[in-house]
Amino acid sequence: MKKIMMVFMAFSLFLIASCSNEQNLVEFEQSELLNELKDQGIKPKLPTKFPMKIKEFELQMPPHESQIYPIVFIGESGELFNLRIHLGDVTYSGDFEETVKINEHEGSFTDDEITGLDLVWNDGKYHYFLNYQTIGLDSKVTKETMISIAESFK
């Protein structure tokens, strides 16, 4: 009887652990990036948490005037998040798999084996497009984690 109980308990713990999609998020200090964007004339919300420590970021402004502000966040193991902040309305030609809630805002999510995980939403005058590159990385990021990152924007 003890063996059956032990097997049942072990199976239950395994099931609980495997069903949890939530990853621990690490604080990201955004003040330097906020200053760079302020110098560009915008004050958007930015992520305060990621599922790994971010070792560097880069604001990749094009050489011409643009209403798009692309930012790359690189994790300690080479993980890559792309964030594009758009001013104004944005339309997409591709289909997103599902509608999601990000705080009180409606967003869209898709998981593409080529482009990775994409999450888009509007907040005030800003449109956010967050992408996680999945090719060649061992780090697994879930839809729930992407939403948690988006919900950390302040």
Q: What is the pLDDT of residue 90?
A: 83
The residue length of the chain stands at 154
pTM: 0.82
Q: What is the pLDDT of residue 113?
A: 83
Q: What is the pLDDT of residue 95?
A: 73
pLDDT in tens, 89-138: 787 767 788 999 999 999 999 998 888 999 999 999 999 999 998 777 77
Tokens 């999945």 belong to residue: 134
- Phi, psi (degrees; rounded to nearest 5) at 80: -130, 120
Residue 8, CB-side half-sphere exposure with 13 Å CA sphere: 5
pLDDT in tens, 45-76: 999 999 999 999 999 999 998 999 999 999 99
